[in-house]
Amino acid sequence: MGLIEIASGNSVWRGMDYYENKKVYSWNKTGADTYDGIVMGSEGNDYSVHIDKVHPRKSTCNCPFADGRRVVCKHMIALYFTAEPKAAKDFLKQVEEWEQEEEEREQQHYKDIREYVNSLSKAELQEQLYCALVELEDSRNRY
């Protein structure tokens, strides 16, 4: 797994924001799969970041979230996307594809519901409606 896969969704999106807002002041490629850099934090502090693409848990940042922990923070993601902009582009493309697939799944789900409702007889439909209304009433009374 890579940096993006082990980071929280919040860290990835905040890191993307930092990348887009050019919060990575400086960076160097320090090895075949490693980078070091300085990233400005949300409070204006500068953080020293090291990322290792092959061994992402060896990546480090001295921010309060990641310091001394084996987690991937927003500063690491920002450095990664800055050093490898294609990774940022690929990530956004994946998100776009997933959102399109999700929309298609949702449309299919509603189509399936419509087909099910249309397959019911009048009596079955009335019974289903009655049960749904009772369930709705019960849920309102619980809160």
Out of 59, 83, 107, a domain closes at 83
Domain that residue 29 falls in: 3-83
Token reading at 108? 């299919």
For residue 27, which of 80, 64, 68, 72 has the smallest C-alpha distance?
80
Residue 105 and residue 67 share a domain:
no
Inter-CA distances, 3 with 45, 92, 113, Å: 23, 15, 39
pLDDT tens figures, 95-116: 999 999 999 999 999 999 999 9
Same domain, 122 and 54: no
- Which residue among 57, 83, 109 closes a domain? 83
Flag whether pLDDT at 141 surpasses 90.
Answer: no
Q: What is the pLDDT of residues 16-65, one digit of tens each?
A: 999 999 999 999 999 999 999 999 998 889 999 999 999 999 999 999 99
Judging by DSSP bridges, how do beta strands 60-61 and 24-31 pair with one another? unpaired
> What's the pLDDT band for 143 if we cut at 50, 70, 90?
low
